[in-house]
Amino acid sequence: MSGGRLLLGATPLGQPSDASARLQQALATADIVAAEDTRRVRTLATALEVRIRGKVVSLFDQNESTRAPALVEDMRAGATVLAVTDAGMPLISDPGYRLVGLCVEADIPVTCLPGPSAVTTALAVSGLPSDRFCFEGFAPRKESARRNWFATLAAEPRTAVFFESPRRLADCLREAADVLGGARRAVVCRELTKTHEEVRRGTLAELADWAADGVLGEITVVLAGANPEVDIAALVEQVEELTAAGLGVKQACLHVVNAHPGAPSRRELYDAVLKSRD
């Protein structure tokens, strides 16, 4: 045998029909299917009416370091290995990183069968800015670590996406409100693409109150980025420069506000200009 390779297959978050045609073909033809949960991948294959002909083995966080070298040897011998996790894209807070690293070292081809991801799905439906964002994985488990972690996001201008356990969500949101301010906007996405999907938007304070009664399901949180601090005096100076060039005060204020994300409203800037002239 020759030409072994690794396929990374994104699996549906909840709806089997979201599986790509390439994933279905790979499930049917791969020599080995390395799954985070072997029962779940068999259930998915049944729902898709796909027969897995290859060997199915487990590949999860606790056994990846020992399982991966053997899979690499199988690929060296020519096997096609399909790696899948319970839902979404392998490696994104899921197993697969060690296996990919070993394949890269061994010069074994690695191909991705793209598809569902809770990260980008939550970002897309959040309504928060998506032109620049960061993914933070799972929130830390302990309160002190979470508070320190939120402190590192205090000045982060990008929208942040992270996962959280439903059991810890209320505490997590309350601590986020304490550290980042209760007015910071966020979105909690629960059971994305599933029957009981829920997208809850609001401030951190509002969402913490909502979650206090308990929440169930898979959770993805989207956190608005920090508004850059704006020097009002500098904005007033820009307005005065524009008015000196012939613009009206209101028009100049609108121009400056539009040019500076995080700036106050046009009315607030207008008032500040008039006050500076007193």
Q: Is a pLDDT exceeding 70 seen at residue 103?
A: yes
Report the C-alpha gap between 42 and 36 in whole angstroms: 11
- Report the b/e string of 89-110 with b at 16+ CB within 10 A: bbbbebbbebbbebbeeeebeb
Tokens of 8: 């990374």
Q: Is 163 helix (H, G, I), strand (E, B) or coil?
A: strand
pLDDT digits over 147-195, tens only?
A: 999 999 998 999 999 999 999 999 999 999 999 999 999 999 999 999 9
Tell me how far apart the terminal alpha carbons of the chain are, to the nearest angstrom.
85
- Residue 37 burial (C-beta neighbours within 10 Å; 0-12, 13-18, 19+): middle
How large is the average pLDDT for residues 237-266?
89
Tokens 């800015």 correspond to 129
Average pLDDT, the chain: 95
Q: What is the pLDDT of residue 263?
A: 75
| Closest among 25, 28, 91, 16 to 59, alpha carbons compared | 91
What are the counts of helices (DSSP H) followed by strands (DSSP E) for the chain? Answer: 11, 10
pTM of the model: 0.81
